[in-house]
Structure 1
Amino acid sequence: MMISNSFLLIFAVAFMGCVLATPLVTRIAIWAGAIDRPDQFRRIHKGATPRLGGLGLAFGLASAIMLVGYGGYLNDWPGVQEWWACQWAVFLAGLIVLMVGFVDDTRSIAPRMKLAGQAFAVLILFAGGIRIQRFDILGMAIDLDGPVIDLSMAGMPLSVSIPSLIVTMLWFLACMNIWNLIDGMDGLASGVGLLVSGTLTLVAIHNQNVGVAIMAAALAGSLAGFLLYNWHPACIFLGDSGSLLIGLLIGIIGVQGSLKGPSTISILFPILAMGLPISDTAMAIFRRWVRNLPLSSADRRHVHHLLIGLGLNPRQAALLLYCFSGFLCGVVLLGVCLKNEMLALILGLSGCLAFLLILTSRMDEFANLRGDFKARIARGRQERAAAKLTWEAIQRIELCEHVAAIRTLLEATAHELGCQVERISCTRNGDEIFAEEEAQSASLPVSAPLSGPSAVFRLSSGKDLLLTVALHQTSETSTAADIAFRFLQRLSLATAERIERLLLTQEEESHDRGEATSGSLGHASSSEPFSNGPRLSSQVSPVLAISTTPSLTRVSLNWLRMTLGWSVRPVVHHSTLGDK
């Protein structure tokens, strides 16, 4: 009975602590410049609003936990000493997350730096013994045993299991960032967090997991107090400091609730309780992947944005999302009472899918996503096919010994990619090496008006040779113009480099034979036209065998940069693309 009353005391102290601290935090946020101003894009509030609510939240939490730890209210609990000994890691990790959020709310930091700060906080938790070593899901017990590394941290020996560290890191980073993403409307993250933490409090009490119940009750009380200020129209926002702290603490509650206590629960139940932020984050990741956008890019397609787009005001949208999150929390309680994970999983997934499908269908977002998904898959096939053709052509060009074969390969590859080579010219030191004003395979004269995408590449070999290639995409092709032209640019650059090496090779041979440099094929006065593709020399093969090796290395590096999305910048490059 003493312990049960302590949970009510914890909730009340956290509630009052946050209520009393938040007005002071508001003044601190104004002084520090942590102000969120409307941008007529994603931020849907009306005026400038402070955003350091995480400090008030942390004060309420600390007040309740300190009262319990030093007030003697849990002396009847045998595990109080063990629980209190682990709180240093929670306190330190929470402090790090608050600092990261404070800097981001006041000065803004890069996403990678923010992620690094979150990862450091997770390492503190791992060192403090809060880690995932095994978990149960759908009746299966999964042990994360694996390679162990013995380390020393602050003079203390530490054994690190690599699988355990990876899973723990992913769990906490996911928890923090899904709450960060859903914090986009007045009262949304704090209200949903109140429902989730309250549900996990009831589950922990039901399973006699006192330590988890203390943390969950303190978080629920602090969120309830903060919601008084965060309800629309909000006086203060959680900010990154608050949303990251909520995610960290709910992650801790989920881990400890599924690993400790007389009757542990499946890790599936905390995941289902967080069904709303997880669903919104999963949709955001899928949406940005389909549209080839960075995961950190902002958009107005989150769940609350869609509800606002349907004509609901912020209060109505928040209440509707509370109802959805309450349904998922009810599913969790039902699954815990009946000890049936499969039933909870089926009900939770069905509810999430139905809600998201109905919502996205009303805004035509589902149809747009389906179309974008099909286009992404088609572009992926085109990218792979174009990459295969181009790479094979580059390797063949490396083996060519005269320009006619190189030009034939270039034209054949362009034709395979649905393009016609309208013009090819090449100069070196201002002297024309070869020129072809009209490609032999072209069906249209250069002077004829062209319809459809076209491009002109002026590429340097890196020394003193300039290759110009004019392309036009035919109407029969199914390859996107930007894909075809991008890969043909790489092929043209490889062509320029190969021609440059052929010229250097012949000049070296001519010099060895004592011939004048002006007699080389690199000048317009050459007795044998270079554009006709004569064989350079009957003795050129040994020299080519030596010069080809660095060439392949250079082209391979260019190809690697292309595959990874790195740009290859020619010295001079002008292109014009028309809409197909």
Structure 2
Amino acid sequence: MYILATILSTFIFAFLAIQFFKPVAIEVGLVDKPCERKQHDGHIPLIGGISIFLAVLAASLLWLPNTLELRMYLIASAMMVFIGALDDKFDLRVRVRIVGQIIIASLMIYGVGGYIANLGNLFSLGDVNLGPFGIIFTYISIIVVINAYNMIDGIDGLIGSLSINTFTSVALLFLMSGQTDYLSYPLILATATLPYLMFNLGLFKRETKKIFMGDAGSMFVGLSVIWLLTMGTQGEQASFRPVTALWICAIPLMDMLAIVVRRYKNGKSPFKPDRDHLHHMLQRAGLSPKQTLASISIVAAFMSGIGLLGEYLQIAESIMLFMFLISFCLYALSIRYISRRGKAS
């Protein structure tokens, strides 16, 4: 009954936040305008992330225990959404965004006193303990995951579907481990994202009702993902193994790594926007936006399923890591093939 009330209230909070802030966003100019990279009709309100955060904030204050970790997460999230909203409105420089992300990472690391210190038994030689280097690794991980989810946001429904997939997978991992005290955290995040996804996909049949996530939302999602993964894999109360975390956010991570390498080879900035992401290539290869969304979502769910199965069966972490690296190689080869096919057509 508690879980049902939490889910229902979160959905209502998110729905009402969208209805309230949509006209506000249009009034203040917080909208996404069509351009060479962004091909859509009209000016779309960028309030998806703001509505999700406010729903998470309200539901957390209403239903979750008032812990230091939760307070630090909510403060860090508020800062992340604020920086993202400024970026949506004024198109901040990459350096400013990264500095903001480092400050937020510091708040999470030092405010709670926790970081990624143990990577698990990745090489069948015992646990890989990072020691003091774990703090640096955590900074890198936070920045990578935030920007991975930010970069993958390119077509209707994609960031919403991928984030719900990740949050639901984390919820299942907590459930499998018996850590039901943590179950509400990912469920609140997944439920808060659902109304956004419905509006973003135009399920209400009116173009004027469409909204976008915005950088405020995609960066907030990335921050929430790395927070959940850190909470779930570290400490005495760890619920699942670190290698499993790779599988449940595989597509955003693989897409980011592949495109950063490609931009570096072409002499471009890793953060310079372009139309060479996975979803762009699939559309150039002939898939419609809906087919592209379905294809990526199915693959993401499949990858998460492998991670969940590996965790349930307790498959050796070294094997899971090797399988992940093989999957990335296959992903990179597939991207190269799709890219060439798209150019040929």
The question of a shared fold, defined as TM-score above 0.5 by the shorter chain, is answered with yes
Q: How does 1:14-163 map to 2 (within 5 A)?
A: 14-39=10-35, 41-69=36-64, 84-129=67-112, 130-138=114-122, 140-146=126-132, 163=133
Task: Tell me whether 244-253 or 84-93 shows the greater mean CA deviation.
Answer: 84-93
Aligned residue identity for 2:10: A
Once the two structures are TM-superposed, the CA of residue 343 in structure 1 deviates from its matched residue by 4.5
1:31-62 CA-partner distances (Å, limit 9, x unpaired) = 221111111x3213233211121110012211
8 A contact 1:15–1:224 mirrored in 2: yes
Aligned equivalents of 1:30 and 1:351: distance in 2?
Answer: 43
8 A contact 2:145–2:223 mirrored in 1: yes
8 A contact 2:119–2:128 mirrored in 1: yes
1:303 partnered with 2:288: no
Aligned residue identity for 1:145: G
1:315 partnered with 2:310: no
> Residues 100 and 28 of structure 1: is their aligned pair in 2 closer, same or farther, counting only changes over 3 Å?
same
Q: How does 1:82-481 map to 2 (within 5 A)?
A: 84-129=67-112, 130-138=114-122, 140-146=126-132, 163-231=133-201, 235-260=210-235, 262=237, 264-340=239-315, 341-364=317-340
Aligned residue identity for 1:43: K
Once the two structures are TM-superposed, the CA of residue 63 in structure 1 deviates from its matched residue by 2.3
1:310-338 CA-partner distances (Å, limit 9, x unpaired) = 22221111111110101011111101110
8 A contact 1:131–1:168 mirrored in 2: yes
Once the two structures are TM-superposed, the CA of residue 349 in structure 1 deviates from its matched residue by 4.1
User: In structure 2, the residue corresponding to 1:219 is in which secondary structure?
Assistant: helix
User: In structure 1, the residue corresponding to 2:99 is in which secondary structure?
Assistant: helix
Aligned equivalents of 1:171 and 1:62: distance in 2?
Answer: 24
Aligned equivalents of 2:26 and 2:181: distance in 1?
Answer: 36
Any unmatched runs of 5+ in structure 1? 70-79, 147-162, 369-580
User: In structure 1, the residue corresponding to 2:183 is in which secondary structure?
Assistant: helix
User: In structure 1, the residue corresponding to 2:127 is in which secondary structure?
Assistant: strand
Identity of aligned residues (%): 23
Once the two structures are TM-superposed, the CA of residue 184 in structure 1 deviates from its matched residue by 1.0
Aligned equivalents of 1:367 and 1:43: distance in 2?
Answer: 20
Aligned equivalents of 2:121 and 2:319: distance in 1?
Answer: 13
1:183-226 CA-partner distances (Å, limit 9, x unpaired) = 11111011110011101101012112345422211111111221
Aligned equivalents of 2:341 and 2:109: distance in 1?
Answer: 40
Once the two structures are TM-superposed, the CA of residue 267 in structure 1 deviates from its matched residue by 1.3
1:532-556 CA-partner distances (Å, limit 9, x unpaired) = xxxxxxxxxxxxxxxxxxxxxxxxx
Aligned equivalents of 2:282 and 2:7: distance in 1?
Answer: 32
Aligned equivalents of 2:41 and 2:282: distance in 1?
Answer: 17
Query: Normalised by the size of structure 1, how large is the TM-score?
Result: 0.55
Aligned equivalents of 1:42 and 1:221: distance in 2?
Answer: 30
8 A contact 1:360–1:366 mirrored in 2: no
Task: Tell me whether 350-359 or 199-208 shows the greater mean CA deviation.
Answer: 350-359
Aligned residue identity for 1:284: I
> Residues 226 and 113 of structure 1: is their aligned pair in 2 closer, same or farther, counting only changes over 3 Å?
same
Aligned equivalents of 1:17 and 1:235: distance in 2?
Answer: 18
Task: Tell me whether 8-17 or 165-174 shows the greater mean CA deviation.
Answer: 8-17
8 A contact 2:279–2:292 mirrored in 1: yes
8 A contact 1:176–1:244 mirrored in 2: yes
8 A contact 1:212–1:256 mirrored in 2: no
Matched length: 335
Query: Normalised by the size of structure 2, how large is the TM-score?
Result: 0.90
Aligned residue identity for 1:171: S
Aligned residue identity for 2:98: L
8 A contact 2:18–2:47 mirrored in 1: no
8 A contact 1:30–1:50 mirrored in 2: yes
8 A contact 1:207–1:262 mirrored in 2: no
User: In structure 2, the residue corresponding to 1:134 is in which secondary structure?
Assistant: coil
Say which structure is richer in strand. 1
Aligned residue identity for 2:41: K
8 A contact 1:132–1:255 mirrored in 2: yes
8 A contact 2:160–2:196 mirrored in 1: yes
Query: What's the C-alpha RMSD, in Å, of the aligned pairs?
Result: 2.2
Once the two structures are TM-superposed, the CA of residue 266 in structure 1 deviates from its matched residue by 1.5
Any unmatched runs of 5+ in structure 2? none
1:428-470 CA-partner distances (Å, limit 9, x unpaired) = xxxxxxxxxxxxxxxxxxxxxxxxxxxxxxxxxxxxxxxxxxx
Once the two structures are TM-superposed, the CA of residue 12 in structure 1 deviates from its matched residue by 2.6
Aligned residue identity for 2:175: I
1:11 partnered with 2:18: no
> Residues 353 and 23 of structure 1: is their aligned pair in 2 closer, same or farther, counting only changes over 3 Å?
farther
8 A contact 1:98–1:245 mirrored in 2: yes
Aligned residue identity for 2:128: I
1:457-484 CA-partner distances (Å, limit 9, x unpaired) = xxxxxxxxxxxxxxxxxxxxxxxxxxxx
User: In structure 1, the residue corresponding to 2:175 is in which secondary structure?
Assistant: helix
8 A contact 1:272–1:329 mirrored in 2: yes
Aligned equivalents of 1:359 and 1:133: distance in 2?
Answer: 33
> Residues 348 and 260 of structure 1: is their aligned pair in 2 closer, same or farther, counting only changes over 3 Å?
same
8 A contact 2:121–2:127 mirrored in 1: yes
User: In structure 2, the residue corresponding to 1:360 is in which secondary structure?
Assistant: helix
Q: Which has the higher contact order (CA 8 A, sep 6+)?
A: 2
Aligned equivalents of 1:23 and 1:58: distance in 2?
Answer: 14
> Residues 336 and 363 of structure 1: is their aligned pair in 2 closer, same or farther, counting only changes over 3 Å?
same
